[in-house]
Amino acid sequence: IELIVYSPTITSPKAGAIWTANTTETVKWDVSDIPAEKENSTGLLLLGYLENNSENLDIAHPLATDFPIKSGTVNFTVPANLAKRDDYIVVLFGDSGNKSPSFTIKGGNGNAASTAWF
């Protein structure tokens, strides 16, 4: 039995993107090469940030869960209580985890959000 691992490339957010707290955002990934065996897989989307050689993923607060991987997109609301950083990432899990380039999240008023989410 051959194990097929599907690791789609995240196409959005792009490096340097800026998200704002309490807005709807979309993460997109390339499904042009999805194997037939993975077409019914569901995904998990986590937020993290790059610090101390770690992805610092917030497993307790997924951005989205149980969405179809084959859709190539998922929408969610950016949490309100995040610290402003320019090294956030999202990681898409199906049967592997692929991370996006780094991007920024700012508070709804343009500053750091009120409390750290992580």
Residue 3: what pLDDT?
A: 65
Give dist(CA 62, CA 45) in Å, integer: 6
Answer for the pair 89, 68: CB distance below 8 angstroms, yes or no.
Answer: no
Nearest CA to 46 among 97, 96, 91? 91
Predicted TM-score (pTM) of this structure = 0.81
CA pair distance 21, 108, nearest whole angstrom: 5
pLDDT tens-digit profile of 48-107?
A: 999 999 999 999 999 999 999 999 999 999 999 888 899 999 999 876 667 787 888 887
The pLDDT of residue 52: 93
Average pLDDT over residues 17-30: 95
Domains of the chain: 10-106 (2.70.50.50)
Higher pLDDT, 111 or 60: 60
